[in-house]
Amino acid sequence: MRLLEDGQMIRDTYEVERFLGEGAFAEVYRVKHRFLGRQAMKVFKRVGMNLDEIQDMLGEAILLTHLKHPNIISVSDANIFETPHGTCGYFTMEHVPGGSLDKFWRSHGGQFVPIETAIDLVKQVCRGITQAHREKPPIIHRDIKPQNILVGYEADGLRARVSDFGLAKKVNPLTLLATAAGTLAFKPPEAFAERKGDSCAADVWAIGATLYLLLTDRLPFEMPANVSWGSKNLFDKPVSPPSETNPDVNHALDSIVMKTMEKQADSRYPTAKELLSALENWKPAIHDSAPKPKTLTSEPSKSVLGMPSPADEGIAKDLAQKAFKARQTGRLAEAADLMEEAFNKSPELRQKYAHQVKMWRCGVSM
C-alpha cells in the first residue's frame, strides 16, 4: 500500500499529484507546491522514526545541498509530517518531466540513441560526478545507472541530472576506497572481490557501462539472473568494442569506452574529470555527404535492462493533444511537461516535436 494518495495535502503546502516510482527505502511522488509549482517528493517508507533517525535518512538531501551543480538534482525542502502510523520524513527535489535516461533510451525504439546525443548526456553526467569526486575526501555515487540519471529538455537542449545519491559515500581518505554497493550490472570486477572495493574509478566504470549501453543497446558483460556479490567469473569474456555493434562508433570513441571498462581499477580513468576530458577531446567521424540509412539495433525491444512497458500510442496521442491545448492557453511550461511525457510513449513524437518543446521552455509559443 502506498504511503500517499493523489490529492492529499502535505503540511498545507504540497498537493500530491501522482506516484512516480519507488526504491528500497523510499517512494517518489509528483507534487505541486502551492507557490513554486511542480516538484518531486521522496518519502521514506519507514514510518514512526524519531528525529535523529529521520536526520540520518535525510543524509542524501543534506549531501545534495552541498553538491550544487547543474547536472546534479537539486533539493528544495526537507521536513516531516504526521501520518496515522507515526512521523514520516521527506524531501523535495526539482521535477524532471522527461524522467530517467532509461526511459529516454527506451523511447528510441529500434534505433540507437544518436552518438552525439549519447556523448552529450554522458559528458553532463561526468560534470556532475566530477563535482562529487573533487570533494575532500571524494564522494562516490556507488549507483550510477540510467535509472538514476534524469533527462529533460531546456531552452538550450537536453539536460542530464544525476539523482539518487542515497548510496553515496565519502571514501576513506587514506585508501580512497569504500565498501561496494549499488546495482550489480553496473559494478566493476573489484566490487565482486573479497574486499568489495568501491572508488571513484568504480563510478567511472558505471558511467562507461551506461555509455556502452547507449551506443550498443547492450551491457558490456552479461549478468546472469542469479548474480550476487559472491558471483565468480563474471568478467572472463573480453568486452566487444562498441563499433562492432554500432558502425557509427569510431575507433577513438572505442578507445575511450574500453578504457572505462579496464578490469584493473588503476588502468581506468581515475575520476570522472579525466573521462570528461577525453570525451570533450573526442571528435565524431566525418561521413560523406550521401544520406545514411537509420541504424537499427540488434535488440529492438531494448530488453537488456528488463522488459519495457509496451509503447502506447493512444496515451502518447492523448498527452500530445493536452500539450497543445495547454500551449493554446499560454501554459507553456505545462505544455512542455506533457509533451516530454508523451515522448517516452512514442519515439516518433520526440523526433517531430523536440524543437517545439525547447521553444516552449524558452517561453516561445509555436
pLDDT in tens, 52-81: 988 888 999 999 998 999 999 999 999 999
Give the start-to-end residue ranges of the domains of the chain.
9-94, 101-281, 313-361
Output the nine-digit C-alpha cell for 284: 565524431
Residue length of the chain: 366
Residue 172 has pLDDT above 70, yes or no: no
Q: What share of the chain has pLDDT > 70, as a percent?
A: 92
Separation CA 17–CA 316 (nearest Å)? 19
* CATH assignment, 101-281: 1.10.510.10
Mean pLDDT of 290-311: 58
CA atoms within a 13 Å half-sphere pointing along the CA-CB vector of 240: 15
Closest CA to 155 of 366, 355, 365: 355
Mean pLDDT of 279-305: 65
More reliable by pLDDT, 51 or 311: 51
Q: So what's the pLDDT on residue 338? A: 92
Where residue 290 falls among pLDDT bands split at 50, 70, 90? very low
Average pLDDT, the chain: 89
Helix (H) or strand (E) holding 314: helix 313-328
Separation CA 171–CA 187 (nearest Å)? 16
Topology, domain 9-94: Phosphorylase Kinase; domain 1 (3.30.200)
Q: What is the DSSP string of 228-283?
A: -TT--STT-SPPPPGGGT-TT--HHHHHHHHHHT-SSGGGS-SSHHHHHHHHHH--
Residue 294 has pLDDT above 70, yes or no: no
Q: So what's the pLDDT on residue 303? A: 73
Q: So what's the pLDDT on residue 225? A: 80
Where residue 258 falls among pLDDT bands split at 50, 70, 90? very high
pTM score: 0.89
* Ranges 136-145, 201-210, 270-279, 290-299: which has the least confidence: 290-299
Residue 176 has pLDDT above 70, yes or no: no
Separation CA 208–CA 218 (nearest Å)? 12
Please check whether the two domains, 9-94 and 101-281, share a CATH topology: no
CA atoms within a 13 Å half-sphere pointing along the CA-CB vector of 99: 19
Range 276-285, long-range pairs (CB < 8 A, 24+ positions): 276/123, 276/126, 276/127, 276/130, 279/119, 279/122, 279/123, 279/126, 280/123, 282/119, 282/252, 282/253, 282/256, 283/252, 284/115, 284/116, 284/250, 285/248, 285/250
Residue 153 has pLDDT above 60, yes or no: yes
Dmax over Cα atoms in the chain, in whole Å?
Answer: 67
More reliable by pLDDT, 308 or 302: 302
Separation CA 141–CA 165 (nearest Å)? 6
CB 114 within 8 A of CB 121: no
**What DSSP designation does 190 have?**
G
